[in-house]
Structure formats: C-alpha cells, structure tokens
Amino acid sequence: MSTDTPRFGPGSLLYETYGDRRGYLLAPMEGLLQLMYPSLGRGVEEHSDFFNEPWERLFRSVPQIQGMIYDGPQAMHTAAQVRDFHKHIKGEMPSGERYHALDPHTYFWAHATFIDTAWRARDLFAQRPYTREEKAAVYAEGVRWWNMYGMSQRIVPPSYDEFLEYWDHTLHHVLEPTPAARGLIDYFDHAGDMPQPWIPKALWRILAPSASEAWRHLLVGTLPPHIREMYGYRWTRANQVAFDTFRQAVMRTWPLLPESVRIMPRARAAYRREGRTGIRVALERAAVAPERLRTAV
C-alpha cells in the first residue's frame, strides 16, 4: 500500500462532517443494504456474532472506519487494520461459489454505503442539504478514502454520476433478502426479545418496546421504497408525516447540543490536534475548486 496518499484534514468535507453522530441514524438502513449484498451477507452469517450483539459491533466498527479520516499520521495504519480484519472472512455461497470479504466488488459495496451516509445524513437531518456539486466533491474524497485500503481501483465508478448509476443498479439488480438481512429485519421487528449485554436487563425490559418501535420506524423511513416493499412494510402518509416531524426536530435541535454529544470522540480528538475550518469553509472550497479535492484532501 502506498504511504504517499494524502491524509484527510481541515477543509476536507469528510473531515469536517463525518464525525457527526447523526450518521448513526442511518446505521439500520445502511446495515441492511450491506447485508443484502449476497457475498457480504454470507460472510456475516458465517463469521459474525452480529445478531447477539448488533449495537456492540456497530460501536466497535464505526470508530475504526472513521479513524481513516481522523487518525492523522496513523490513518494509513488504521486503514490496513480495517482491511486486514477481513482477511479470514471467506467461505462458500449456497450455490457452491467461493466468496471472500476482500473481493473488491464486495468490499466496495460496503464502502459505498459509508459514502452514501455522508450525504444522506445531510439530506435527511441537516437544515441545508448538499448540492449536487458538493455531493460530487464528497464522492471524490470517498474515492481517495477507498484508495487508502490499497485495493483495486478498477471497480470504482470514476465520477459521481457513474456512482449513482452503480448504486441504482446494485439496489435493483444485485441486492436480495439474504438470511443475514432477514435476521436484521427480525431484530428490528422484535428487538425486545433480544436483550443487549451492554444494557442492564431490567432497564432493557422497560426500554425495549419503545426502542424497538422507534428504530423500526427509522429503518423503514430511510429505506428505498422498493426495498421497503420487498420486506412487506407499509408506509402511509401518516408514517411519512411522523418521520418528517422527527427529521425537523433533529434539524432544529442538533445545533443546540454540546459538541461532546454531537461529535464522535475520534473526530473531536482530530479537531483538537489539527483544528478545523468548519463546514462553511469546506463547502466554499468544494464550490470554488471541486477538482482540487481529488488530490488535496
């Protein structure tokens, strides 16, 4: 892996925004889309204890992945750790075909969902969504993020528009209701039946019914419509109104919360160490010189 890849820092859109905890609101949807990719879902099914500890696994893995953006001089080492964690995840599909988590097509789909989170979180939960040009700038940074893994670039869509075509094709022609994806749906439909070791049992018995309902509505509200229909979820006008009310509440109250609540620890550490320009400057930079972001993050 090349050590010459410039690291992320102040002025990068990913650096300025990806530590925002609002991204966790998309974790159910993005997680489901990952598990619906057949080879990825098979790897989780055979090699993970995900369904006994979904939240613990989420809170372990996301900070490591964010470390590629926020770990400064150590970011390339973090990237190698994240990649190499998947080396042993391989096996056989039900069809007899072999799979490996580090197959570039499989691994890039997981990465694609992380890129999608970068702009979907703003589209849904920020007062000012990204413009198309800004999303293209984020995607350019997302390609550099991928390159930190040292994996094949041949399967990477070269532009934002081509990425959207790839995304739409995968959603409609590749994803399927794998056993792993079905397991996640069952978890959100019956979360109260699955106590979490990181929450005291007595407290979980109280919280589980409302928590299960809230997370299920968040999952269903963020899903692409045809994926929602695939699992038999009805989405009424009343559901949409409730979801939009929640989104508006997040938009209005989020800026009022302290940074320790809004921003992930790894990002806060990077901001203390290296500073930040703020999102406004990063957006201005993207608008003035979007092509420069391809080589200067």
- Give the whole-number percent of the chain exceeding pLDDT 70: 87
pLDDT at 64: 87
Is the confidence at residue 219, as pLDDT, over 50? Answer: yes
pLDDT at 51: 59
pLDDT at 214: 81
Instruction: With CA atoms as reference, report the closest residue to 187 among 29, 44, 54.
Output: 54
Lookup: tokens for 42? 């098979």
49-105 pLDDT, tens digit per residue, is 665 565 555 556 788 899 999 999 999 999 999 999 899 999 999 999 999 999 999
pLDDT at 297: 37
Rounded average pLDDT over 213-226 = 89
Rounded average pLDDT over 256-276 = 94
103-146 pLDDT, tens digit per residue, is 999 999 999 999 999 999 999 999 999 999 999 999 999 999 99
Give the confidence band of 268 by pLDDT, cuts at 50, 70, 90. Answer: very high
Where in the chain are the domains?
13-294
* Stretch among 152-166, 181-195, 211-225, 272-286 having the lowest mean pLDDT: 181-195
Is the confidence at residue 228, as pLDDT, over 80? Answer: yes
Rounded-to-integer distance, Cα 39 and Cα 192, Å: 29
Q: Give the contacts of 105 (CB within 8 A, at least 6 positions apart).
A: 39, 155
Rounded-to-integer distance, Cα 142 and Cα 14, Å: 8
pLDDT at 289: 55
Map tokens 């069809």 to a residue: 95
pLDDT at 2: 40
Rounded-to-integer distance, Cα 27 and Cα 133, Å: 25
pLDDT at 10: 92
Is the confidence at residue 4, as pLDDT, over 50? Answer: no
Q: Give the contacts of 17 (CB within 8 A, at least 6 positions apart).
A: 118, 122, 279, 282
Burial class (CB in 10 A: 0-12, 13-18, 19+), 280: exposed
pLDDT at 273: 94
Instruction: With CA atoms as reference, report the closest residue to 285 among 10, 6, 23.
Output: 10
